Amino acid sequence: MRRFVEHHTVWAIAILLASVMFLWMVFAVWPEWLVSAIGRKKTFVGTFLNGVTLGGLYFLVASGFTLVFGLMRNVNLAHGSMYLLGGYIGYEVAEASGSWFLALVVAFVAVALVGILLQVLVFRRMEGDDLRQTLVTIGISIVAADLMLAFWGGNTYQFQPPDWLYGTIQLPIVSVIKSDGSAVFIKYPLYRFTVLGVAVAVGIALWLFLNRTKIGMMIRAGVNDRDMLAASGVNVQLIFALVFAIGAGLAGFAGVIGGSALSISPGEDIRYLLASLVVVIVGGLGSISGAAIGALIIGLAEQFGLAYFPTYGVVLTFLIMVVVLAVRPQGIMGGR
Amino acid sequence: MDSDHLSAESFIFKNLNPAIYIVVAFLLVYPLFASNYFIFQIAAYSLILGTIALSLMMLAGYGGMVSLAQLSAAGLAGYLMAILGQNSSDVMGLGWPWWLAVIVAILSAALFSTLVGAIAVRTEGIYTIMITLAIAVAFFYFARQNYVLFNGFTGYAGILPPTLFGINWRDPIPFYYLSLFVASGFFGAVLYSSRSTFGLSLQAIRDNPRRMRALGYNTSMHRIAAFFFSGVIAGTAGVLLVWFNTRISPGSIGVDVVIDILVIAVVGGMRHPIGPFLGALAFVLLQNFAIDLIDRERFNTVIGTVFLLVVLFSPDGILGIWQALIRKLKLARQGNHSQSRQSVTGSSDATSTDSTQA
């Protein structure tokens, strides 16, 4: 942070001014011209919050994807299938036990086990052959999507999170002042904030795990030089299996979180695969902080695109990807 | 490997295997004895899918760039046929003459592919597959969301080939010959250009980009040019495909179809332009007749499993299996007088080794 300010003072000032401007816009009542320019404040703030919380969900999915790539150079294109599988398993557990939290835990563990199986049975056999690994993950995603369709059908499933997570909360943001002088406050669903909170918690936990534990140290060493790590006596295969388990488990976990915020149905796997791809391309493949930044950008872009120019919403996401690739091919936080 | 065998002409004209004459003759007389279903639904469809997969094979096999956006280029050409030409959906349909629409559609597909290439060559290897997949998926969502240009979820129907010289080109036999003409033309072009200076430099860039850069080659431009040519192939096949189906919708360019094209190219084999056509034939036969063996709904499981087995056990696809068989036969009757032919297969092996490795 401090180094950034020292090195890019102009940028730092610009960002500071922009955020002050933004806060003023959010907390003050909007003048008329702003309403005509970017719509009512309720729409704007709602879209912004939707974007941030969607970014949180994308971070949950993409962090596993990028973690696995960072260490193993394995682009797991079956990551979306793991999201969907986690959602379905979580739904079954929640239906059977009635506990949403149990669903979260089981989805994480079950999909993590699937990840370990894949790593041990498939990817270990073709280490170093990036393209073949990627093709295999495509094959797995085709079969997995079809089998899940066979088992769970084309229905849409909706979770029932605990009641105290549902409902709306009132934000300390005034949208309009009524003629009698009373202010109307903006309301927002609580569950969406929960998604954001979980994403932040997972992000911090991942950071602590990677930077403050011994295993995390080994993982970081493996990212830099896998062979040297193996040569210094670490059982690399165990580390690989562990990282794959965490990455896959996070996808399954996100399946329940995302399935409660939105819903679970066939085709969601592709949607979250696309989200993960774009997020890591923008943020930088292999970097957790890059995934966070990328997820925030893509989540915001998607929601603002949907709200302000519905039929061209996807183009905005795509343009961001192109611009990042043109200016910084390795992604915002990617180093090479 | 003497230089004589590397020049394009000698390769095309001198060393024709008698088997090739048989295949050509068979393809030409095929409509005489096959039923309309087999001419149209099987043969013509395989040729079209094979051509799209050929455009992928050319990029992946010779350029080492696995692009999943080839079907999107083909789909764009198909959509443009509906938008510029005529359709029965009461949206767009500018009514341009068919030949102009075809030219613009193919060129736009080529331009699209070039742009994809320009983005993809910014990075290398495994990134290409990710970026092109992201582009393909984004194009699918865009076509589905956009009602002004792409007519959203429903897409377009009633896109027909012209009636020319008194022939309805959508009748099975004319359409078969049209597809055969296009497919064999591009097949020959890819085969020829793989031995041209451009093709050889592309393969060299695939094998060692740094060395080629040091030798003064503009590696990015070579790769982007390859994307342009493959866009022409994909776009032409896309026009044929939309005439074949007479309709196009976001489903025609969805991720499952994008991956089908990859499956076709990989299952067929990416080391020789014949691979995609073998893969397409196998795919179409499976698609049409696997339903007799298993539930139609589970077709994706079958094709996915076949794909997985090929990737796991025979990375060169059907072509790899075939070559292994040939090699065994050759070993069995070693010492024959086929020295010259062996040197040719030797050189073609050498230039195409590691073709699937990015």
pLDDT reported for residue B322: 80
With CA atoms as reference, the chain A residue closest to B125 would be: A131
pLDDT reported for residue A176: 65
B138 touches chain A (CB under 8 A): yes
pLDDT reported for residue B233: 92
> A277-310: per-residue pLDDT in tens?
888 888 887 788 888 888 999 998 888 888 877 7
Residue B196 φ/ψ, nearest 5 degrees? -80, 170
Residue A131 near residue B126 (C-beta atoms within 8 A) = yes
- Show which of residues 288-327 on chain B sit within 8 Å of chain A, judged by CB atoms: 297-301, 303-305, 307-308, 311-312, 315
**Which amino acid, one-letter code, is at B32?**
L
> A63-77: per-residue pLDDT in tens?
888 888 877 777 888
SS3 B163: strand
Cβ-based contacts under 8 A for chains A and B: 116
Closest CA to B304 of B322, B290, B293, B321: B290
- What rounded mean pLDDT belongs to chain B? 79
What pTM value is reported for the model? 0.81
pLDDT reported for residue A111: 93
Residue A276 near residue A290 (C-beta atoms within 8 A) = no
Mean pLDDT of B115-128: 82
B265 touches chain A (CB under 8 A): no
Q: How many CA atoms lie within 13 A of B101 on its CB side?
A: 27
Contact B356 A131 (CB under 8 A): yes
Tokens of A17: 């001014």
Contact B131 A281 (CB under 8 A): yes
Q: How many CA atoms lie within 13 A of A141 on its CB side?
A: 29
B358 touches chain A (CB under 8 A): yes
Residue A263 φ/ψ, nearest 5 degrees? -160, 175
Q: Which one is predicted more confidently, B272 or B334?
A: B272
Contact A314 B133 (CB under 8 A): no
Residue B8 near residue B196 (C-beta atoms within 8 A) = yes
Q: Chain A residues with CB-CB distance to B under 8 A?
A: 73, 75, 77, 122, 125, 129-132, 134-136, 138-140, 142-143, 145-147, 149-150, 270, 273-274, 277-278, 280-281, 285, 310-315, 317-318, 321-322, 325-326, 329-330
> B201-234: per-residue pLDDT in tens?
888 888 888 888 888 888 888 889 999 999 999 9
ipTM of the complex: 0.76
With CA atoms as reference, the chain A residue closest to B263 would be: A139
Mean pLDDT of B103-128: 86
What sections of chain B are H helices per DSSP? 8-13, 18-33, 36-37, 45-57, 63, 70-84, 98-120, 126-145, 172-194, 197-207, 209-214, 219-245, 255-268, 274-293, 299-313, 317-332, 339-352
**In chain B, what percentage of residues exceed pLDDT 90?**
10
pLDDT < 50 stretches in chain A: none
Residue A132 φ/ψ, nearest 5 degrees? -65, -40
Contact A147 B123 (CB under 8 A): no
> B239-293: per-residue pLDDT in tens?
989 888 888 888 888 888 888 888 888 888 888 888 888 888 888 888 887 767 7
Long-range contact list for A21-24, CB < 8 A, 24+ apart?
none
Residue B12 near residue B191 (C-beta atoms within 8 A) = yes
pLDDT reported for residue B110: 93
All residues of chain B having their beta carbon less than 8 Å from the beta carbon of residue A84 are none
DSSP category for residue A126:
G
Q: How far apart are CA B187 and CA B181, in angstroms?
A: 10
pLDDT reported for residue B358: 38
**Which amino acid, one-letter code, is at A314?**
V
pLDDT reported for residue B340: 47
Position B345 confidence tier, pLDDT thresholds 50, 70, 90? very low
Position B16 confidence tier, pLDDT thresholds 50, 70, 90? low
Sign of CA dihedral B166, B169, B170, B176: positive
Which of A143-152, B100-109, B330-339 is predicted with the least confidence, judged by mean pLDDT? Answer: B330-339
pLDDT reported for residue A207: 87
Position B10 confidence tier, pLDDT thresholds 50, 70, 90? very low
B133 touches chain A (CB under 8 A): yes
Mention every residue, 6+ apart, whose C-beta is less than 8 A from residue A35. A41
Concatenating the DSSP letter of every residue in A81-109 gives HHHHHHHHHHHHHHHHH--HHHHHHHHHH
Contact B262 A138 (CB under 8 A): yes
Closest CA to A260 of A26, A100, A61: A100
